[in-house]
Amino acid sequence: MDWFQLAREKEARMIETRRYLHQYPEVSFFEKHTHAYIVQRLEQLDFEINDHVGQNGIIAKISGNKQGPTIALRADFDALPIEDLKDVPYRSKVPGVMHACGHDGHTATLLTVAELLHEHQQKLKGTVVLIFQYGEEVTPGGAQEMIADNALMGVDKIYGNHLWSGYPTGTIHTRPGPMMAQPDEFNIKIHGKGGHGAKPHETIDPVVILAEFILSAQKIVSRTIDPVKQAVISFGKIQAGEADNVIPDTAICRGTVRTFEPEVQQHIYHKMDKLLQGLALANDITYDFDYVKGYLPVYNHEASANIVKEAANTLNFRYHDADLMMVGEDFSYYLKARPGAFFFTGCGNPEKNSEWPHHSPHFDIDESAMKYTVSTFMKILELENVL
């Protein structure tokens, strides 16, 4: 089958679907309207639908006449609390909420796969499970809840995709083994002793102590971790005080740690805590240190990653090995439970202003990229002997 041509024939409707979803985004765990829209579309097709899996997930199954494997494909459908600043006709109509990561495109592509499977059901040798997942953007995410609610029951392998503005439109990227990091978060509050800015000797300045911690923390990665291992410590928020002549009682910071290996993650946590202990001892302060572990790293199974590569090459797409990325994805939990692979479809195109980074208020996708995802999914099913 020429899956690319079949996907191209559905491109106009797929773009219409994506733009509708883009105009009516809903944040994680509150995707009521989006959920209803997906169910309504699936009810028009020959699928067995299991609604409200986990909290708000949707499972749709379709089977052929022969006893073949069961392959799952997943898309997420939540949006982000970001104001949409694009000047386009399909700009978000919901104040302060937008699809700034491409999940609208993911849902549109999987609904298109559903239509193709419905139209070619007679060619099915096994079973395809379509997983529409809520809450990917906010930990603990929707994947774990859906898995606990038997989303993967009977599934042999699973595949997922992410449209990616950092790669050129239409390219396909994956790699065996580690591909995306574990995104942990931390919150630190330094309790000092405030006072007048003109009399610092009468205070215990939490701002200076926090600054010392931030600078020292950078040496954890650069001087205590093997340089061939990947790790990141970044500070995203620092807050202290209200006036220029008052030393505050407290100072806070928030940030993220990104790692691929549990031992590196634990090393960073313990080093951060030791730094805080030392600062507390040296400066007579107390502190709160809240460290929240994020999603597991995404580890692709080698055989499945090779299937993605073969699918792209068979379709004559431009395939490249994916870069190691320090971003996170809760698709990792599916891959912990079943063999499979996650891959990227490039959707960055300067001519269509779609090279903005993910989670930017200007983010958009080159919608012509979606047909590459659809046809890759269909070719994967063919190579897995489901079609």
- Binding site members for Mn(2+): 101, 103, 137, 162, 359
125: left (phi over 0), alpha (psi -120 to 50) or beta: alpha
In the three-class reduction of DSSP (H, G, I as helix; E, B as strand; rest coil), residue 177 is classed as strand
Q: Identify any residues that bridge with 174 across adjacent strands, giving them in sequence order.
A: 321
Is 84 annotated as catalytic? no
Token pair 């509050």: residue:
189
**What are the tokens at 340?**
């499979």
Residues 379 and 324: beta-carbon distance below 8 Å: no
Residues 90 and 19: beta-carbon distance below 8 Å: yes
Helix (H) or strand (E) holding 12: helix 11-23
**Active-site annotation holder among 31, 76, 84, 136:** 136
**Active-site annotation holder among 31, 78, 355, 366:** 78
Which among 137, 161, 142, 23 is positioned nearest to 80, based on CA atoms?
137
In the DSSP assignment, the letter for residue 134 is -
- Cα–Cα dist 37/246, whole Å: 54
Which residues line the annotated binding site? 101, 103, 137, 162, 359
In the DSSP assignment, the letter for residue 163 is E
What's the length of the chain?
387
Would the CA dihedral through 333, 335, 338, 343 be positive or negative?
Answer: positive
- Percentages helix, strand, coil for the chain (3-state, rounded to 5) are 35, 30, 35
Is 185 annotated as catalytic? no
Q: Any residues with CB less than 8 A from the CB of 377 and at least 6 apart, and which?
A: 73, 109, 110, 113, 159, 161
Residues 96 and 21: beta-carbon distance below 8 Å: no
Residues 174 and 271: beta-carbon distance below 8 Å: no
Q: Which residues are catalytic?
A: 78, 136
